[in-house]
Amino acid sequence: MALDTKTLILDAAEKLFATRGFYGVSMRQITIEAGVDPALANYHFGKKRNLFDAVMLRRAEVLNRERIQMLDDCLRRAKPNPPPLEEIIDAFTHALLNRSNKGGAGWKHYFAIIAQINNHPELGGVIMTQYFDPLAKKFMKAITRALPDAQPEDLYWCYHFLSGALTLTFSGTNRINNLSDGLCNASDLDAVHERLVPFITAGFSIFKSSVSQR
């Protein structure tokens, strides 16, 4: 069936892109992993880059819907005041960590791709911007409302730090496991989330007033 092979190819591409990056995988390897004729990847998706975009888009749509939903809920609850900063940060990260945790292997692979793309000089600016900037702008608007005396420039840098900390978590390297002699487990995303949100909130908070209290 048509839809079945499309998903087979998407899943295979997702898995291989996740472990070896865009350039590290060939169309042939993808179709072999999918158990499908080599020509079918081109037939269904066109060029390799288009296939990659399809992989990105499939789950980005789901994520963006969920994250905007959580932000809107959070804004509504606090009305007419701005919501507490920590709730905004949580709305930003919750769907990501939840999907990565309980969404199965496909989601894990997807987030590993995101981690690589976010740190890729050629693709990062283009692809992350394309799929996630509208959402990021919505969150930044909420954050600037929650910290009205902070300088926007400072807050954008904080967002940048958040983005980096978050995506490294998704990368799937287990460097932290070795480094901590097994104290930490990179796959335990609940443990991450529990610490990431207050960590980031504290970082943002030092810019609460425009004179930073270093």
Closest CA to 158 of 176, 179, 144: 144
- Given DNA, a second copy, none, residue 41, with its beta carbon under 5 to 8 Å by kind, binds DNA
Contact between 112 and a second copy by CB under 8 A: the answer reads: yes
Q: Which residues of 112-122 are buried (b: 16+ CB within 10 A; e: fewer)?
A: bbbbbbbebee
Nearest residue (CB) to DNA, 4 versus 153: 4
| C-alpha distances out from residue 75 to 70, 71, 113, 121, 146, Å | 9, 6, 30, 34, 10
- Given DNA, a second copy, none, residue 105, with its beta carbon under 5 to 8 Å by kind, binds none
Residues 11-70 that bind DNA (CB under 7 A): 25-29, 36-44, 46-49
Question: Could you give phi then psi for residue 100, rounded to 5 degrees?
Answer: -65, -35
Nearest residue (CB) to DNA, 5 versus 201: 5
Whether the CB-CB separation of 168 and 115 falls below 8 Å is answered with: yes
Tokens (6 digits) for 40:
């079918």
Contact between 184 and a second copy by CB under 8 A: the answer reads: yes
Shortest spacing between CB 15 and DNA, in angstroms: 15
Q: Cα Rg for the chain, rounded, in angstroms? A: 19
Question: Could you give phi then psi for residue 177, rounded to 5 degrees?
Answer: -65, -50
Tokens (6 digits) for 99:
């999907």
Contact between 105 and a second copy by CB under 8 A: the answer reads: no
Closest CA to 68 of 88, 48, 38: 88
Shortest spacing between CB 51 and a second copy, in angstroms: 16
Name the segment binding a second copy (CB under 8 A); options: 6-14, 49-57, 95-103, 206-214: 206-214
Name the segment binding a second copy (CB under 8 A); options: 2-10, 49-57, 73-81, 121-129: 121-129
Contact between 95 and DNA by CB under 7 A: the answer reads: no
Amino acid 89 reads I
Residues that bind DNA (CB under 7 A): 1-2, 4-5, 25-29, 36-44, 46-49
Residues that bind a second copy (CB under 8 A): 18-25, 86, 112, 115-116, 118-122, 124-125, 128-129, 133, 136-137, 140, 152-154, 156-169, 171-176, 178-180, 183-184, 186, 191-192, 195-196, 198-200, 202-207, 212, 214
